[in-house]
Chain A
């Protein structure tokens, strides 16, 4: 492996949480302004990649709520199901329902996209860093 930077290794964890907070902010901001699940998910991928490169992929995996593939599947599932709520009222699929204070099924959809991007792309990143999933066990 390439020699590691002590500074980067030290800063990786605080930066991870900072980036993740930014990712969540972008996700929620996308409700009415530029942003949203996809871009937020990409920022979350950047956070995980930073830890994976600065420390190792095992540390990055530990910080994620689920392993990459289940995370991505949960995301796709959430996004798919969010469309069914509107369809249950007789409107076309993916018609979204809105309540007061801007809470809506769109949020569920966006959160699904966020998780799908975070899971799928970190899966690739870990694989490219030559970790075949053994490190997690």
Chain B
């Protein structure tokens, strides 16, 4: 039962919160209690797996490989824990700032059920033990995200939702086709059964094409070059809390699946695939960061940075080694937290300054010093200044790239770090440092007051980010242990 708890708890919370459309207060309490219960179950599962090794549940007690199986291993539970923490922070933020933002009452009624449904789907993807189940939960992620995108019920929301829906639907169809082809070639959907079937050279020879198709679908969902244009075009219209959750988690979930499939289930795919992924990663990194450098809307800058960070993660996957996988996993945990923290800060900037456009705001360093410090922590982590969590993630990836003589890949990762610094300092200089553009001799226009509770979500996310930077050993040791089996079976090199 324990491995299923992180899926069932948010599903139940989604149901409960949805059945309270006219009781905002009770709904908020239920939502927060559900998020706390989710975190508790994630911690319990993580500790259990950490001590006693991987657990699995075959739903309905059907015999494997026919049962729907959920597998909780070291890597999956680490990410479940990260996502549960993120979920709690995001929901706390949504509740604390509910008074400051003013979406329609209807929209707020839909927000919490959809956030919990999204969390349930993400958890299930982290724990899924077979391909079809994985596909189903990806689909639920798509539906929940789509619901969040149209919450605002304005024209721009419909436009963003349409862009998201079109690309996601394409990805979903490709994924379903690929799952079908893989089932046709192997006769299995269960991960461990697939791994067993791969030992037959004839079966393995039939797989590169369908697996590549599956990868294509996942890369589309992850926002990899040249399939990323939907992402910055749709994300910036989301409600702040949903943006932090989606921007922090969603694309990374697809990357996690790519790593799990290529490194574990389908280990032993031709080296050419890793080669192609590596170059895609480099282009993705660069195009994301260049897109960010061009924009002035903080949300768009951060959304383009998601694309760039996806490049780093893909680079780690392309390195196709246990060390690369450990680096990817660490970077994944770090990036989920930092990205969400920056998106929440961006929401606070909007609440204080009334705008997302950097050209129209300023002077926040004087007006809101705490916000400035929190932003600096997040921005330094994203850039990878030592000793921040991003530094360790990038160090692991770049070191492994150089160790494999991938000089261009490693060099690109370093160069993109510099460009990240550029757009983070742009936000810093324009939003925090420069005086407010409308400032007159008698002083800048007043910023809106921020209730101390509004900082709750951001603060709660900043603590693990700082901890991960100052003391990365524990997390790293856990993730190295969890990823040591990836790419062991006759890797590409």
A59 at the interface (CB under 8 A from B): no
How many residues on the A side are at the interface (Cβ–Cβ under 8 A)? 15
**A73-B11 in contact (CB<8A):** no
The answer on a CB contact under 8 Å between B57 and A92 is yes
Is A93 a contact partner of B1 (Cβ separation < 8 A)?
A: yes
Q: Is the CB of B58 within 8 A of A92?
A: yes
Report yes or no: B8 in contact with A80, Cβ–Cβ below 8 A: yes
Most B CB contacts (10 A, CB to CB) among A77, A87, A93 go to A93
* Contact A93 B4, beta carbon cutoff 8 Å: yes
What's the Cα separation between A94 and B7 when bound, in Å?
A: 14
* Interface locus among B12-20, B236-244, B268-276, B445-453: B12-20
Given contacts A80-B8, A80-B11, A87-B1, contact A93 B19 (CB under 8 A): no
From A73, A91, A94, contact of B15 by CB (8 A): A73
Let me know if A94 and B18 touch, CB within 8 A. no
Q: How far is the CA of A77 from the CA of B11 in the complex (A)?
A: 9
The answer to whether A70 and B19 touch across the interface, beta carbons within 8 angstroms, is: yes
Q: Once bound together, how far apart are the Cα atoms of A91 and B11, in whole Å?
A: 21
- In the assembled complex, the CB of A115 is this many whole angstroms from the nearest CB of chain B, namely 13
**Taking the complex as formed, is A76 at the interface, i.e. its CB lies under 8 A from any CB of chain B?**
yes
Contact with A along B38-65 (1 / 0, CB 8 A): 0000000000000000000111110000
Within 8 Å CB of B58, what residues of A?
Answer: 92
Question: Does any Cβ of B come within 8 Å of A96's Cβ?
Answer: yes
Q: Is the CB of B61 within 8 A of A92?
A: yes
At the interface, is chain B mostly helix, strand, loop or mixed? helix
Beta-carbon contact of B18 and A73 below 8 Å: yes
B residues less than 8 Å from A91 (CB atoms): 61
Q: Compute how far the CA of A60 lies from the CA of B11 in the bound complex, rounded to whole angstroms.
A: 29
A50-76 vs B, Cβ < 8 Å mask (1 yes, 0 no):
000000000000000000011001001
Say whether, besides A80-B11, A80-B12, A87-B1, A93 and B57 are in contact (CB < 8 Å): yes
Q: Name the one of A70, A76, A80, A92 contacting B59, with C-beta atoms under 8 angstroms.
A: A92
Contact pattern, B 52-81, Cβ under 8 Å of A = 1, otherwise 0: 000001111100000000000000000000
Q: A94 contacts which of B11, B12, B19, B60 (Cβ < 8 Å)?
A: B60
- The distance from the CB of B335 to the nearest CB of chain A, in whole angstroms, is 32
Identify the closest chain A residue to B21 (Cβ): A69
CB-CB nearest in chain B for A106: B60
Docked complex Cα distance between A94 and B214 (Å)? 29
Find chain A residues with CB under 8 A from B19 CB: 70, 73
Tell me, rounded to whole Å, the shortest Cβ–Cβ distance linking A64 to chain B.
17
> B61 near A76 (CB under 8 angstroms)?
no
Q: Bound state CA distance, A93 and B1, in angstroms?
A: 6
Shortest beta-carbon distance from B264 to chain A in Å = 23
Interface centre among B1, B8, B19 (most CB of A within 10 A): B1
**In the complex, which of the residues A69, A80, A83, A96 contacts B18, with contact meaning CB atoms closer than 8 Å?**
A69
Task: List residues of chain A with CB within 8 A of the CB of B59.
Answer: 92-94
For B18, what are the chain A residues with a Cβ–Cβ distance below 8 Å? 69, 73
| Cβ-defined contact, B60 with A96, below 8 A | yes
Q: A80 vs B117: C-alpha distance in the bound complex, in angstroms?
A: 14
Chain A residues with CB under 8 Å of B8's CB are: 80, 93
Query: Is A95 a contact partner of B61 (Cβ separation < 8 A)?
Result: yes
B residues within 8 A CB of A77? 12, 15
Residues of B within 8 A of A76 (CB): 11, 15
Q: Within the complex, what minimum Cβ distance (angstroms) separates B64 from chain A?
A: 11
Minimum distance in angstroms from A89 CB to a CB of chain B: 11
Which residues on B sit within 8 Å (CB–CB) of A83? Answer: 60
Which residues in A have their C-beta under 8 angstroms from that of B57? Answer: 92-93
Give CA–CA (A96, B59) in the complex, Å.
10
Q: How far is the CB of A1 from chain B (nearest CB, A)?
A: 25
Question: For A95, what are the chain B residues with a Cβ–Cβ distance below 8 Å?
Answer: 60-61
Residues of A within 8 A of B15 (CB): 73, 76-77, 80
Closest chain B CB from A62 CB (angstroms): 20
Q: Could you tell me the distance between the alpha carbons of A91 and B8 in the complex, rounded to whole angstroms? A: 16
Task: Encode contact with B along A71-112: 1 for CB under 8 Å, 0 otherwise.
Answer: 001001100100100110001111110000000000000000
Tell me the smallest distance from the CB of A36 to a CB of chain B, in Å: 15
Closest B residue to A96 by beta carbon equals B60
Inter-chain contacts of B4 with A (CB < 8 A): 93
Give the distance to chain A from B5, nearest Cβ to Cβ, in Å.
Answer: 10
Q: Which residues of B contact A86 (CB under 8 A)?
A: 60-61
The smallest C-beta distance from B304 to any residue of chain A, in angstroms, reads 35
Interface centre among A69, A91, A92, by most B CB within 10 Å? Answer: A92
Q: Smallest Cβ distance from B37 to chain A, in angstroms?
A: 15
List chain B residues, Cβ under 8 A from A94: 59-60
Complex CA gap A83/B11 in Å reads 14
Q: Which residues of B contact A73 (CB under 8 A)?
A: 15, 18-19
Chain B residues, CB < 8 A from A93: 1, 4, 8, 57, 59-60
A-B pairs with lowest CB-CB distance, top 5: A95-B61, A94-B60, A94-B59, A92-B57, A92-B61
A-B contact pairs, 25 of them (CB 8 A): A69-B18, A70-B19, A73-B18, A73-B19, A76-B11, A76-B15, A77-B12, A77-B15, A80-B8, A80-B11, A80-B15, A86-B60, A86-B61, A92-B57, A92-B58, A92-B61, A93-B1, A93-B4, A93-B8, A93-B57, A93-B60, A94-B59, A95-B60, A95-B61, A96-B60
- Inter-chain pairs besides A86-B60, A93-B57, A95-B60, 8 sampled, C-beta below 8 Å: A69-B18, A76-B15, A77-B12, A87-B1, A91-B61, A92-B60, A94-B60, A96-B60
| Contact surface of B with A, Cβ cutoff 8 Å | 1, 4, 8, 11-12, 15, 18-19, 57-61
